[in-house]
Every structure is written in C-alpha cells, then in structure tokens.
C-alpha cells in the first residue's frame, strides 16, 4: 500500500486547498511541488550515447525554470503560443512546462508533418515561438517562415549542421537556457510570480487533430480538463509515483500528452525517452515499463517477431513453447481475471511461467507491466488474448482528443477484445437516436481554436459532446464501438448495419487481408474479400496447390472453401451479439485483385474507400444481390510503372453458412434491435 500512500501525499495539498490560491491546479505548480517533495527521485530519462541519462524532479524544475527565463528574455509574453516539433525528447517536454509557467500555450505539432501541413498549423494557432529538435525541423520552418508572419523565434535543441545558418531568428537551446539563468539570477522571484498567475481554467495546450477530412482542428484543453481526467484514470488504475513509462508516441497526440506529461506530473512518476524512434522496442526491453500504451499494430509486430524467432528455434524449445502456449490460452486469461481454474491447469501454468512466459515477457520488456492499454483501432481477439494469456494486463480504453483521452477503461478482470470498457468516474455516456455515442465529462474540451462552427457542431447547448462514433452498451454495461457514425446504416429490415465492425471481424483472420461489407438498405449483408497473398500462398504451398498469380490463387475453389470457413466463423460471432446478428454475411466473393491505394480504393493509411469501391465494382455488387452464381467485372488498373490497363474477370460468388439467431424469433427482431440502440 506504500505506493498509494505516496499518491496521497502528492495530491494532498490539492485536496486540502482545492479552491485556494495554493491549489496545484496547473502543471508548473505541480512541478515545483514535486521538486520540493521528491527532489531526488528521477523524473525524466533519456537514452543518449548508449546510456540512460536521468534528471531528478529537482533538476527538471531547474531546467524548466531556466528555459522559461530564456523564453521570457526573448520576449515571450502571457498568452503567446509556442510550437513544439520533434521526437520525444526531455527538452521538448520541458518546453511544455516552461511555456505553461509563463502563461503561454504549447502547441505540439506532428514531427513528420510536411512543411505545408506545418505552415497551416503554425499560422492557424498564431504561433510566435517554436522549439524544435534538429536541423530537419529547422529546415521546414525556414521554408514556411514567410507564410507564418507571426513566427518570431525558432529555438533548436541539436545544433548539428546549423552552424552556418544565417537566419537571425534561430536560437540555440543552450544559449536560451544560459540567458534564462542569467535573467533569473537578476530577478529570482519572476518565475514563481508568473506560475502563480495561471489557474485551472486557463488553456493548458492546443492539440491539432490529424483530421481524415479537411484541415486539422485545434482542440483547446484547459488545465482542469487534463488534470481531472488524468487523476480520475490514476485513481481508476491505482497508479503511483513508482510507475515507469516509455514516451515513444508522437508528442502532438493527446494520448502521449496524457500518459507522459499530465499523468506523470499528477502522480509524480518517471518518464523515459527512447534513443530514437527505431530503438523504441529495444529501449522498452531495457526499461521494463510498468504502465504502457501501444496501438494494436505494435502488439502485432511484437507477436510476429516472437513467432518468427520461435520458428527458427530448436525443436525442443519449439515444442515447449507451443505446448505451454496452449496451456496459457486455456488458463491464462482466467487466471489474470482471478477466476476459478482447475488445479492441474493452475500447476501447468506455474510451470509454463517458469519455463516460457516469464522469460518471454522479460525479452519483450513486459515483465513489470501492471497496466497496458491498446486503443485507436480494433484489436484482433487472438492478439489480445495472447498477451492476456501470458499474464500481461492488456486492456482497451476509449477516448479522443476532445475528451482528454479517458472516457471508458476496461476494469481489471473484465477485459474483452470487442469492448472498450465502462465509463470512468466523472464521465457520463449516452447513446443517441442514430447510435452515436455522446459524452459529458470534466475532460470535455473547451472549443476548437478559432472554429466556432465546428465547436457548435460537436458540442451541443446541453454540453453533450458528439463523438462521431456509433456504439452500444452490451449486456455487461461495457461500451462497444462499432464504427464511425456516418458509415453506419441499416439493413432493409431496419437492423443496424456497421460495415467496419464486420470487416474487422473478417480481417482478424490471417487469410483475409481486406474486406468490404455491403448492406445499407439491402436485405442482407454481402462482402468482397481480398485474400492475404502471403498467408494464403503459404497455405497453398503446404497443400502443394500450384498458382501463377494473385488472380489465379484468389479464384481457386479450395481458397474459396478456406475463406468460406472464416466467414462462417465470423457469422457465429456476429450471431452471438443481438444488435448485430442480422448482419451475418450471406454471400461473398473474392476479388481478383488487391485493393490498392494507387487505384484510389484505399487511403494511404489503408482505410477502405467505400464509395469508390461501390462505384467501380457496381456490377459485382449487383451480382451479389441478384442471386447469380458469378459476377463479371472489367476494371482499370494502374501498374507500378504508372501504365494503365484493363482487367477482366469472371468471379465466383458463394453463399456462406449463417448461424441461427439466438433466443430470438427471426421476424420481430429488427424492431427490438432498433430499441436497443436507441
């Protein structure tokens, strides 16, 4: 219970004098409190020159003070915006605190933005100062400087390659820090007075959402927003000042800001920065964080690496690994959830832990993980359960920039691959008429910066914020997110139709690379399938099935059988969920070509462009719903070298097995489901 006691001490002043002038209602105030309370505890680490360098809370406070002084001597005034551009570096985190200490607003920008995107954000946010990591970012700013008339000073952390840059507005971080120290030497009370002038209701940060449609929007969050949410989640998970976190996701992303800044300052734990983006996984291993966030993609990469390396291992190791993985699959999740498990499995799991799980977790850097989150996209059940079966407490959460992240978290012992958990204390969630998820929470954003129309659209007069996501509460009162609200439609019978949810179910099968579900306004759901050339090719090889091309493999009846099996399994899953049981896939075909971003069928981030596909393959969609046994298609394709050509194909259409709807009579059911959604 010591960790909790420590949390209590950190938060005590805030709790005692919540409204008073000494309240810890901004991050700079917290920083100064930490510097007094735990001056020698590590606050920040960075792997540099192959060694973990660390800074204590006392040192961080001094660094932040010096930088703030330097900014002030460059003319930084209250309310000024400071852009932060670069990889996760301690100095850039300190820049956030220094800006806030002066009553300014930090604006982190995605470091891989091209100059154009950067110009938009800098100009829109009215940025006067920028602090950047290195030459790469300086070059971009030099390029866009003309388009950002307000931009006055650019501070760079790494001087390499910048020696001969003549621009007078460029300043080296070290110089700025020196100037700050000198300035604070002359006016020792300056900073404390500045820090005291800010309060919880003031703007803490503006984060630009990447925005799949149109220009990015600047989400304005106050200190109260961030602190309330961060503290609620800390209490929900029982986090302490002993946590270890690796800061490796973009600083401009709200999740990173909450995990590696807001929560670190609220709880007083240590944040470590990897050596570079490419070493993040190695550094993770060395650090062994206790609190971890990663998108599904990263968990998938780790698993793939493990599997590949196991295939190369000797047969004894391989046999052991696969045997105990089976044991883990049977007993692991239940043990993690503290449910009853037979003595035999319990004993085998212990043995497996000794021989396989513990060493494996150690190599992956997951030995010390108490809480791991994944979010952002749907995670495959196998993937999710793999980590849970090893004893890694992987859970899902739901949130967005507009809610300061946390809306829902899965409770310990209730983690499931298809839900996102229950609302955390302080958050209210309701489902609107059309299935859209609305929320009200202390973390709800102030507004979109200089965009009152968008603000009004997202945030009604009654303070309910529209998420744009469609979802429902399942029987356990856990929230399930099915799709973006505008993609959700209904079948002709009135039942909910959420294409992405169905497609994700299909894509979790290794043999299916891409799927496109149709059904809006139709009698039933039908789907296009793209097979995964590597996985199916491998499968075909093992069966000595000859094929010359993707098209040939895709048209093979045995491959159709394989995919039909996958779809039947997905249908069984869908049937178990009353809201979606009507969305079982009745008919499908396997496309003759891979959907490709070059043909405009996918976005560059591999999201399906429904409308384009529906138009281009209209004849196939018609065939799916006409009851015909085949569909004919002529399509234009762009080859790698830019040439265009036409592809003709005659594609087989199959019926897939559907599961009976459980406990419901077939006919009145759509009506009931509509009620459930409302």
Partner 1 sequence: MAERRIGDTILDADSISLSFGGIQALSEVSLAIREHEILAIIGPNGAGKTSLLNVINGFYHPQRGTLTWKGEVRRRMRPYEAAAQGIARTFQNVALFRGMTTLDNIMTGRLMRMRRNLFWQALRVGPAAHEELEHRAYVERIIDFLEIEAIRKVPVGQLAYGLQKRVELARALAMEPELLLLDEPMAGMNVEEKEDMCRFILDVNDEFGTTIALIEHDMGVVMDISDRVAVLDYGRKLADGPPDEVRSDPDVIAAYLGVER
Under the rule (CB under 8 A), what is the footprint of partner 1?
48-51, 160-161, 163-164, 275-276, 278-279, 282
3-state SS, residue 352: helix
Tokens 């006067």 belong to 128
Burial of 220 (C-beta count, 10 Å sphere; 0-12/13-18/19+): buried
Cβ 301 to partner 1 shortest distance, Å:
14
**Pick 281 or 454: Cβ nearer partner 1:** 281
Cβ 18 to partner 1 shortest distance, Å:
45
Beta strands in 138-226 (DSSP E): 153-156, 170-172, 203-208, 218-222
Cβ 283 to partner 1 shortest distance, Å:
9
Cβ 135 to partner 1 shortest distance, Å:
8
CA–CA separation, 104 and 244 (whole Å): 29
Cβ 159 to partner 1 shortest distance, Å:
9
**Pick 275 or 436: Cβ nearer partner 1:** 275
The DSSP H or E segment spanning 59 is helix 57-73
CA–CA separation, 120 and 457 (whole Å): 22
**Pick 160 or 648: Cβ nearer partner 1:** 160
**Pick 48 or 650: Cβ nearer partner 1:** 48
The DSSP H or E segment spanning 277 is none
Residue 383 has a CB neighbour count (10 Å cut-off) of 19
Asked whether the beta carbons of 239 and 291 are under 8 A apart, the reply is: yes
Cβ 134 to partner 1 shortest distance, Å:
10
**Pick 83 or 85: Cβ nearer partner 1:** 85
Residue 520 has a CB neighbour count (10 Å cut-off) of 16
Cβ 491 to partner 1 shortest distance, Å:
48
Tokens 């097979």 belong to 531
Cβ 49 to partner 1 shortest distance, Å:
4
Asked whether the beta carbons of 413 and 335 are under 8 A apart, the reply is: no
**Pick 288 or 417: Cβ nearer partner 1:** 288
Residue 657 sits at φ, ψ, to 5 deg, of -70, 135
**Pick 162 or 310: Cβ nearer partner 1:** 162
**Pick 281 or 614: Cβ nearer partner 1:** 281
Cβ 575 to partner 1 shortest distance, Å:
46
- What are the tokens at 177? 């820090």
Cβ contacts of 494 within 8 Å, gap of 6 or more: 670, 671, 673, 674
3-state SS, residue 470: strand
Residue 400 sits at φ, ψ, to 5 deg, of -155, 175
Interhelix angle 27-37/223-237, rounded to 10 degrees, is: 50
- What are the tokens at 96? 């956030």
**Pick 73 or 279: Cβ nearer partner 1:** 279
**Pick 278 or 340: Cβ nearer partner 1:** 278
Dihedral sign of CA atoms 496, 500, 502, 505 in order: negative
Using alpha carbons, select from 182, 161, 162 the residue that is nearest to residue 171: 162
Cβ 85 to partner 1 shortest distance, Å:
18
Using alpha carbons, select from 500, 475, 474 the residue that is nearest to residue 485: 500
**Pick 52 or 550: Cβ nearer partner 1:** 52
Cβ 278 to partner 1 shortest distance, Å:
4
CA–CA separation, 44 and 264 (whole Å): 10
CA–CA separation, 50 and 30 (whole Å): 31
**Pick 51 or 354: Cβ nearer partner 1:** 51
How many Cα neighbours within 13 Å face the side chain of 150?
A: 17
Dihedral sign of CA atoms 109, 285, 390, 360 in order: positive
Degrees (nearest 5) of the Cα angle 173, 179, 184? 125
CA–CA separation, 396 and 48 (whole Å): 32
Cβ 170 to partner 1 shortest distance, Å:
15
**Pick 301 or 630: Cβ nearer partner 1:** 301
Cβ 51 to partner 1 shortest distance, Å:
8
**Pick 166 or 452: Cβ nearer partner 1:** 166
CA–CA separation, 608 and 589 (whole Å): 17
**Pick 161 or 238: Cβ nearer partner 1:** 161
Cβ 163 to partner 1 shortest distance, Å:
6
Distances (CA, A) of 274 to 248, 299, 301, 302, 629: 7, 18, 18, 17, 55
In sequence order, what are the beta bridge partners of 182?
A: none
CA–CA separation, 94 and 130 (whole Å): 13
Cβ 17 to partner 1 shortest distance, Å:
46
Cβ 98 to partner 1 shortest distance, Å:
25
**Pick 161 or 660: Cβ nearer partner 1:** 161
Burial of 1 (C-beta count, 10 Å sphere; 0-12/13-18/19+): exposed
CA–CA separation, 600 and 464 (whole Å): 36
């Amino acid at each position: 219970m010591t960790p909790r006691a420590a949390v209590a001490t950190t938060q005590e002043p805030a709790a005692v004098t919540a409204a008073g002038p000494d309240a810890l209602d901004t991050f700079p105030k917290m920083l100064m409190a930490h510097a007094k309370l735990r001056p020698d505890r590590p606050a920040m680490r960075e792997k540099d020159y192959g060694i973990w360098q660390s800074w204590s809370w006392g040192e961080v406070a001094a660094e932040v003070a010096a930088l703030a002084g330097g900014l002030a001597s460059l003319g930084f005034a209250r309310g000024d915006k400071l852009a932060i551009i670069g990889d996760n570096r301690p100095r850039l985190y300190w820049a956030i605190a220094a800006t806030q200490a002066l009553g300014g607003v930090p604006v982190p920008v995605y470091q891989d933005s091209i100059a154009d995107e950067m110009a938009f954000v800098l100009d829109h946010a009215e940025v006067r100062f920028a602090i950047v990591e290195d030459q790469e970012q300086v070059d971009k700013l030099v390029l866009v400087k003309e388009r950002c008339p307000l931009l006055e000073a650019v501070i760079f952390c790494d001087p390499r390659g910048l020696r001969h840059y003549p621009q007078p507005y460029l300043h080296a971080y070290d110089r700025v820090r020196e100037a700050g120290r000198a300035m604070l030497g002359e006016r020792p009370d300056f900073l404390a007075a500045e820090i005291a002038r800010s309060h919880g209701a003031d703007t803490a940060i503006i984060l630009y959402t990447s925005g799949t449609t149109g220009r990015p929007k600047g989400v304005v969050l106050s200190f109260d927003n961030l602190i309330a949410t961060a503290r609620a989640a800390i209490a929900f998970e029982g986090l302490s000042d002993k946590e270890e976190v690796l800061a490796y996701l973009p600083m401009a992303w709200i999740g990173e800001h909450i995990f590696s800044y807001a929560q670190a300052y609220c709880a007083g734990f240590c944040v470590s920065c990897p050596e570079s983006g490419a070493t993040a996984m190695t550094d993770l291993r060395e650090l062994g964080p206790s609190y971890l966030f990663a998108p599904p993609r990263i968990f998938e990469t780790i698993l793939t690496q493990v599997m590949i390396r196991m295939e190369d291992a000797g047969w004894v190791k391989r046999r052991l690994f696969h045997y105990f993985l089976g044991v883990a699959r049977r007993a692991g999740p239940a043990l993690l959830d503290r449910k009853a498990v037979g003595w035999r499995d319990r004993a085998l799991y212990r043995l497996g832990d000794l021989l396989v799980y513990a060493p494996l977790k150690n190599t992956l850097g997951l030995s010390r993980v108490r809480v791991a989150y994944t979010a952002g996209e749907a995670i495959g059940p196998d993937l999710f359960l793999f980590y849970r079966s090893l004893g890694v407490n992987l859970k899902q959460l739901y949130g967005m920039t507009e809610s300061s992240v946390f809306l829902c978290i899965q409770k310990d012992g209730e983690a499931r691959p298809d839900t996102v958990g229950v609302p955390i204390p302080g958050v209210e969630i309701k489902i609107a008429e059309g299935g859209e998820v609305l929320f009200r929470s202390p973390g709800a954003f102030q507004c979109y910066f200089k965009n009152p129309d968008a603000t009004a659209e997202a945030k009604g007069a009654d303070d309910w914020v529209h998420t744009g996501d469609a979802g429902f509460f399942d029987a356990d009162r856990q929230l399930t997110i099915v799709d973006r609200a505008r993609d959700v439609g209904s079948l002709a019978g009135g039942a909910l139709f959420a294409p992405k949810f169905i497609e994700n179910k299909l894509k979790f099968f290794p043999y299916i690379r891409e799927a496109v579900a149709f059904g809006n306004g139709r009698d039933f759901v039908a789907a296009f399938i793209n097979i995964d050339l590597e996985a199916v090719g491998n499968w075909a090889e093992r069966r000595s099935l000859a094929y010359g091309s993707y098209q040939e493999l895709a048209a093979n009846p045995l491959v159709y059988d394989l995919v039909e099996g996958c779809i039947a399994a997905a249908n069984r899953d869908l049937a178990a969920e009353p809201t979606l049981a009507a969305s079982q896939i009745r008919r499908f075909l396997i496309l003759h070509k891979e959907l490709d971003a070059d043909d405009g069928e996918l976005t560059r981030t591999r999201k399906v462009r429904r409308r384009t596909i529906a138009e281009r393959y209209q004849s196939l969609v018609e065939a799916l719903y006409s009851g015909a046994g085949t569909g004919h298609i002529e399509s234009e394709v762009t080859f790698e070298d830019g040439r265009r050509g036409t592809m003709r194909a005659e594609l087989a259409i199959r019926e897939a097995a559907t599961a009976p709807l459980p406990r419901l009579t077939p006919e009145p059911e759509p009506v009931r489901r509509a009620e459930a959604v409302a």
